[in-house]
Structure 1
Amino acid sequence: MVAGSARRRQAKGSARRSRLKAEASRAASLPPSRDLARTPSPAAAKTGLRAVEAAPPTSELVARTQLRKRAAAQGLLGRGGASAPRKAPWDGRGRGPEVEQVKLLDRFSTSNKSLTGTLYLTATHLLFIDAHQKETWILHHHIASVEKLALTTSGCPLVIQCKNFRTVHFIVPRERDCHDIYNSLLQLSKQAKYEDLYAFSYNPKQNDAERLQGWELIDLTEEYQRMGVPNTNWQLSDANRDYKICETYPRELYVPRIASKPIIVGSSKFRSKGRFPVLSYYHQSKEAAICRCSQPLSGFSARCLEDEHLLQAISKANPANCYMYVMDTRPRLNAMANRAAGKVNGTKGLSVNDFYSGLESSGWLRHIKAVMDAAIFLAKAIAAESASVLVHCSDGWDRTSQVLIEKDWISFGHKFSERCGHLDGDPKEVSPVFTQFLECVWHLTEQFPQAFEFNEAFLLQIHEHIHSCQFGNFIGNCQKEREELKLKEKTYSLWPFLLDDQKKYLNPLYGSQSQKSAVLEPNTVSFNFKFWRNMYHQFDRTLHPRQSVFNIIMNMNEQNKQLEKDIKDLESQIKQRKNKQTDGILSKELLNSVRPESPALKATLSLKEQALLPVNDVLRTIEGSSPADNRYSEYADEFSKAEPAVVSLEYGVARMTC
């Protein structure tokens, strides 16, 4: 009896400890990311502590706090602080250091203000909770670098720079605690294998059918059919069905119908990484195509008969033109991009002069201009000359925006994991190529605000998730690698997540019939290229206070709707009173109801009138040096014509006649 009772007590104690450990692990884990990934409230933005992931709901905060307290009471989570015993570094089982009395410095305060709170390390996030219970979450995968500075009288400084252009500066009271956190973050920010990335543990509580439905949201076969292929000149090739010709290309490739399999195989052996010329875009009415490939292995001086036959087949697949263009983007574009990224990341000064001089010396905007110039040339070759274009660079890596990203970036093997530094690999492979693409799209939306159905927030959210590793879309370097990782079975797709909050990403200025031409012709004069504040300064709250352009536009839309309603009401009143008029004489009451001083018409001001009023909104916006400059009068006026300019293109073009 005694032995049985002891065994029962032991079993109950063991079960209780197991339950508490599970709760502790749950307390240290991330709340559902559908809540965390949403834009925080304006109040949170004003505090300067706005994280990419907003704080979870109050109920979850209470539950997590209770779990932490219960776990701490049982010794499952360490109690930090100067008087607490030292905690071991990260042990890989869902718990880590917790340090109290940590200071978070305000980088943009002239008086060196700081917030004191507690710093936690969870399995996926670094979490700072200040004295007001405000939480700052930093995803481990967003961390680009961690720097431990020299010890000061107030503690040990720890500077964390993130891939989403956020920088946080902590002061840890004890050097040994700072050292533990430093070593833990170095390990957690660079995983050794794909299975350790956040996407493999993220669970939005969807069943397998919903997960699969999310991955099938975009069908690339339908996209090619929309473009008009296959047809009499282009066919679907099964040459790469088992990735035997090129591991970094997708299984399904479109090639000229007259190109035989031996020609394709021979051309692949002549090209770097086996990336032979394949169809990327087809203009059905012009019968012109954009093809992509990598550089020849032996340079342009060498020759390959099969490769020449394939190029001739591409040219002949366009009966509307007897020549095609070969664009070489290697000469300066790639070197400029990597050099600019290095200089931008190395900028530490916060003064306005240092900031602008650093931006100028980085050459970043000059590179964006060069990419746009190359794109304009290519678009004009297709639309104006009906000429096909072959684009190639060093390794060839480089409709709706989702389909474009899925087809031309993900499917064709842009090395997201290497370029974004998802794993602990060669730092020389990290490059901001996809960020440049997003910025070029943003510049187009700035010049043509009515041409795109999505808004700036959509681009920013995509940029967040190429680094967050929360979804499987951007994990891996090619389709073959993604199939081997079984991402569609083990992770979730980003696109359904964005569509769930579709209203947030819609452009209120979009008009499907607003564009007179089907081809956009942006003006690439230098002054049209601006610094993208909401990308690179999205966490800076005091350096450049700005008013939100999006909020202004939404307010204008609401005002316009109210005015339209007022007009309809007045027209209805006029119609009713006309029916009551006798001898064609208007009553004094009717005249007063339609006077210009009518309160209904005076309640909302025009855009030009608003510009004269004082502005107290301190929210950020995209450009302007003062709130009065942010009224965007150009939205109301027609865009000025492009000024004549001599532009030096940063790419090589050869015209080939077949």
Structure 2
Amino acid sequence: MEFIELISISKIDNVILHMGCNESIEGTLCITGHHLILSSRKEQCSRELCILQQSIDHIEIDKRTNKQNDTTSTTIKYPFYYRLPISIDTNTSIEDGYQLYANIELEYYKQLIQESCNDWRLTEVNKYYNLCKTYNHQLIVPKNIDDSTLIESSKYRQDGRIPLISYKHGPNNGGTGTILLRASQPLCGSTNKRSRSDERLLNSYLMMNNKSGYIIDTRSLNVATHCKSKGGGFEIDIYYPQWKRIHKSLDKINNSTTLIESLTKLIEACNDTNCTTDKWLSRLNNSDWLHYLLIVLNTSCIVAQSLHHDDVNVLVHGTYGLDTTILVTSLTQVILNPETRTVHGFQALIEREWLQNGYPFYIRHMHSCYYKENNKDNNDKDNTTNSTYINNNHTSPTFLLFLDCIQQLHAQFPCSFEFNTNYLILLFEHSYFSQYGTFIGNNQYERTILLKLYSTTTSLWTYLNQKHIKEQYLNVMYEENLTPIWPSIAPISFVLWSQLFLRYSINQKPIINSNQSIQSIQQHHFHLKSQVIQLRKQLYDLQLTYESLSN
């Protein structure tokens, strides 16, 4: 059944849309199967606005309405009916985004084999998602660890999220390289229960390069201790003697209520164009959004420095191994790995670290910051001890925080990213509401088994990787930088992402015009370079002719 079958009234006249500081629109509202279309139909200035229904946060239902229909089913959403106008087959140059990254673990495994000889193996112990519902069906593990050890270790980790490789860095200065790992909290509890299988698994990573390791716990010691009293906890030092545990307090970011309130305060300040300068600065400071960017990038830099300069392996985890864990491991890779700063590399990073690593996009992005939840509580996504994170149905702008961190890096290193910041804004918009199926679902189990997204929807990457679309989001100042980028984390270095947060309050034409000017200058530069090459070739030919005539 499609949503249009549930619509009893499809057209309403004399509807007024108020758009903040912009001019209001009055016209006819049409409701289709997946969109709301508001058309002014005026002779002098006809305007039409098309809104995807998925982007609507809240609807007030008239109490006099007796009949109410259930429209919450995922499979009646627009992505299941939308098809890209151009067919995808072997005869076209368009890539199928789903197939491009369907075997991303296998491709990364092949890369590791080339770099590290025979230290790794690819296991399908999670083929039917019995080991861990939120992990991929293929897992890369040390070769000397058998599946039975993985199964026992999964019983000791929250929701079965065992320590797995996120990224292999190096080798640096002729060494053997270092390993970045991610996991969830160990279930040691107040009795300090241990798991020899988990200890063996973690130590096997150290044996690969004969290095020690750091455990970066994204919770403060107080929060981690509280989790321990509830059955969770952290690695006990006597059982993991080769690992040094460090607590980084990202508790407020872990708390969905705190983070969504921070974004709400920021958006409300950005939309208030009548407040004074002092009040604006005060509201910006009180939102704490820039502060959260700072502490996340600070933690990521510490992890990156540990891998690159201290030459040690690093394990990152919170309680569930989601949200802040994925934030830190992803940003660490962007800092260290130049491949992630390219268009395809950044897509692969989002696929491997966010989508296929179990970040619950459907839950976190069910509503935006304007949606007021009925039952607000202070339970943490990454700090609670429920039996499964899926019961904690809280929206949270964690992915937006990640994109804003990338924007901060982009501002400090404008020539090191192949894509521009408009690309980040596009990803933000499609992660909340889209005609593509990439961000639907909470994990690979839901996407591949329950929803069968690969055969029923179109991938966002399929659209973005078309040549004429991709060119719109390329950074004209890009110059390949094969070295790590070390950002400044001084408070003065962080700036508000005006292209996103102020795009409806401040005219963005000057920024658009400046980007167009830069692009035209760059194109002129390439044209002059080609002319120089042609003139040099002509000069060389004339010299040869002159020498032949002289002889």
TM-score (norm 1): 0.61
Equivalent in 190, 214, 219 of residue 330 of structure 1: 219
The residue aligned with 1:408 is 353
2:5 alignment partner AA: G
The residue aligned with 1:434 is 399
Structure 2 CA distance for aligned equivalents of residues 180 and 550 of structure 1: 51
1:123 aligns with 2:29: no
CA shift at 1:373, angstroms? 1.1
CA shift at 1:104, angstroms? 2.8
- Evaluate the alpha carbon distance shift between residue 539 and residue 123 of structure 1 in structure 2; reply closer, same or farther with a 3 A threshold: farther
- Evaluate the alpha carbon distance shift between residue 352 and residue 145 of structure 1 in structure 2; reply closer, same or farther with a 3 A threshold: farther
Equivalent in 378, 382, 385 of residue 303 of structure 2: 378
Equivalent in 173, 177, 185 of residue 295 of structure 1: 185
Equivalent in 500, 511, 526 of residue 547 of structure 1: 511
**Could you report, residue by residue, the CA deviation over 1:278-333 in whole angstroms, capped at 9, with x for unpaired residues?**
111122524311111001234584422222222111211223x2x10101113332
Q: Quick check: which has more Rg, 1 or 2?
A: 1
Equivalent in 507, 513, 519 of residue 475 of structure 2: 507
Greater alpha carbon shift after TM alignment, 331-340 vs 204-213: 204-213
- Evaluate the alpha carbon distance shift between residue 250 and residue 415 of structure 1 in structure 2; reply closer, same or farther with a 3 A threshold: same
Question: 3-state DSSP class of the match of 1:92?
Answer: helix
Is the Cα–Cα contact under 8 Å of residues 227 and 283 in structure 1 kept in the other structure?
A: no
What does 1:49-448 align with in structure 2 at a 5 Å threshold? 92-93=5-6, 96-108=9-21, 113-130=23-40, 131=42, 132-146=45-59, 179=62, 191-207=71-87, 209=89, 213-218=96-101, 219-220=103-104, 221-228=106-113, 231-285=117-171, 286-299=176-189, 301-319=192-210, 321=211, 323-331=212-220, 332-336=249-253, 338=256, 339-346=258-265, 348=268, 350=272, 351-353=275-277, 354-398=279-323, 399=339, 400-421=345-366, 428-448=393-413
The residue aligned with 1:82 is none
In structure 2, list runs of 5 or more residues that go unmatched: 221-248, 324-338, 340-344, 374-389, 541-551
- Evaluate the alpha carbon distance shift between residue 355 and residue 468 of structure 1 in structure 2; reply closer, same or farther with a 3 A threshold: same
Greater alpha carbon shift after TM alignment, 282-291 vs 386-395: 282-291
- Evaluate the alpha carbon distance shift between residue 312 and residue 181 of structure 1 in structure 2; reply closer, same or farther with a 3 A threshold: farther
- Evaluate the alpha carbon distance shift between residue 183 and residue 474 of structure 1 in structure 2; reply closer, same or farther with a 3 A threshold: farther
2:46 alignment partner AA: Q
Is the Cα–Cα contact under 8 Å of residues 235 and 257 in structure 1 kept in the other structure?
A: yes
Question: 3-state DSSP class of the match of 2:475?
Answer: coil
1:261 alignment partner AA: D
In structure 1, list runs of 5 or more residues that go unmatched: 1-28, 30-89, 149-177, 576-658
**Could you report, residue by residue, the CA deviation over 1:532-569 in whole angstroms, capped at 9, with x for unpaired residues?**
11222333355x87433422321332454576689899
- Evaluate the alpha carbon distance shift between residue 533 and residue 357 of structure 1 in structure 2; reply closer, same or farther with a 3 A threshold: same
Greater alpha carbon shift after TM alignment, 202-211 vs 394-403: 202-211
What does 1:563-574 align with in structure 2 at a 5 Å threshold? none
Is the Cα–Cα contact under 8 Å of residues 417 and 476 in structure 1 kept in the other structure?
A: yes
- Evaluate the alpha carbon distance shift between residue 115 and residue 491 of structure 1 in structure 2; reply closer, same or farther with a 3 A threshold: closer
Question: 3-state DSSP class of the match of 1:217?
Answer: helix
CA shift at 1:527, angstroms? 1.2
The residue aligned with 1:461 is 426
- Evaluate the alpha carbon distance shift between residue 181 and residue 402 of structure 1 in structure 2; reply closer, same or farther with a 3 A threshold: farther
- Evaluate the alpha carbon distance shift between residue 568 and residue 316 of structure 1 in structure 2; reply closer, same or farther with a 3 A threshold: closer
Question: 3-state DSSP class of the match of 2:145?
Answer: coil
State the Cα RMSD in Å: 3.7
The residue aligned with 1:486 is 452
Structure 2 CA distance for aligned equivalents of residues 477 and 213 of structure 1: 21
**Could you report, residue by residue, the CA deviation over 1:182-217 in whole angstroms, capped at 9, with x for unpaired residues?**
999x989xx522212211111224557479944212
Question: 3-state DSSP class of the match of 2:57?
Answer: strand
- Evaluate the alpha carbon distance shift between residue 94 and residue 265 of structure 1 in structure 2; reply closer, same or farther with a 3 A threshold: same
What does 1:601-640 align with in structure 2 at a 5 Å threshold? none
1:317 alignment partner AA: M
- Evaluate the alpha carbon distance shift between residue 96 and residue 460 of structure 1 in structure 2; reply closer, same or farther with a 3 A threshold: farther
CA shift at 1:426, angstroms? 7.6
Structure 2 CA distance for aligned equivalents of residues 329 and 466 of structure 1: 24
Structure 2 CA distance for aligned equivalents of residues 428 and 278 of structure 1: 26
Is the Cα–Cα contact under 8 Å of residues 101 and 118 in structure 1 kept in the other structure?
A: yes
Structure 2 CA distance for aligned equivalents of residues 216 and 504 of structure 1: 23
**Could you report, residue by residue, the CA deviation over 1:476-506 in whole angstroms, capped at 9, with x for unpaired residues?**
1111111121111111111120011111011
- Evaluate the alpha carbon distance shift between residue 469 and residue 572 of structure 1 in structure 2; reply closer, same or farther with a 3 A threshold: closer
Structure 2 CA distance for aligned equivalents of residues 303 and 256 of structure 1: 21
**Could you report, residue by residue, the CA deviation over 1:37-66 in whole angstroms, capped at 9, with x for unpaired residues?**
xxxxxxxxxxxxxxxxxxxxxxxxxxxxxx
